[in-house]
Amino acid sequence: MRRWVALAVAVLIASVPVATGSAAARAGAPDPAQALKRKLRNDHGVLISETVRVFFGTKSGGGDRITGSLQLSPSGPVAADFTWRNLPMPGAPSERPDSHRVIRVGKNVYYDANLSPGPIPDGKKWILRTRSAGLAVRMASTASLQPINLYELPIMKAVLKRSTSKPVSGGSLYRGTMSYAELTKVSKGAFRVHGKPTSMGKISWRLWADRHGLLKRLITTDALGKVVTRIDTRYTDWGLPLVITAPPADEVIDENELWEYIHSQNVPIPPDAGNT
């Protein structure tokens, strides 16, 4: 089993030596951390496009596709508006899976009503998440499932410090590896792999920046047991004017109220598989 994981990781991303100094210090290369800091402005944001692939040993186990926008501030992301859909398992029917929309404003996370496990009252199009678990909540903070939150400047600087870099067409490429224990030390909270806090294992990355130092793409790969996750995120339109608002209040139902409504309709509530 360990040989399968090692093979999968080797195929997805090559092993990278850790740099002894900051790659951003390469002569002539703009510092991506400083470039990011300049874009952390109120009422501005960035567009996100992400593909998540999960492998069990050498076998693909599906994944997710996320597209949307992220509103930023000097302290980091404050709101998100995105859609996500599951990627089909190998051999599954070829029809396109349904897309689901999620909006986060501050600490409130809303997901569209088609994710409800049962009937929903007429006129209600959005469900306000009142529990802290679920895939929608995991995505909502950064419109992404990336375990590395590069919008936290200390984390961005730690990633760059432990990267090697080289010039590529249109900018620079940074490559590195770091343990989750190291990342946890510079993060505001514990790092999560597959939704669970962890300080074990390592994560590898490839990070592309343009000629101005702005992030263009981030690919991370990590393994937890026999499960290998590869996340490919692309960033565009840094600094676009953006204000994300909550759905209309009359279209929203609180999750607890929805559960009571489903009970009142005498419909059993299926176990939550974590998709919401």
Amino acid at 193: V
Contacts of residue 178, Cβ cutoff 8 Å, sequence gap at least 6: 18, 158, 159, 162, 202, 203
Confidence of residue 224 (pLDDT cuts 50, 70, 90): confident
Confidence of residue 135 (pLDDT cuts 50, 70, 90): confident
State how far the Cα of 97 lies from the Cα of 111, in Å rounded to an integer: 17
Q: Which of 42-51, 66-75, 223-232 has the lowest mean pLDDT?
A: 223-232
State how far the Cα of 114 lies from the Cα of 125, in Å rounded to an integer: 8
Q: Which of 70-84, 118-132, 165-179, 259-273 has the lowest mean pLDDT?
A: 259-273
pLDDT at 270 over 80: no
Pick the CATH number of 2-264 from 3.40.50.800, 2.50.20.20, 3.40.50.920, 3.40.50.720: 2.50.20.20
Instruction: Please compute the mean of the pLDDT values over residues 55-61 and round it to a whole number.
Output: 78
Q: Which of 66-75, 93-102, 201-210, 212-221 has the lowest mean pLDDT?
A: 93-102
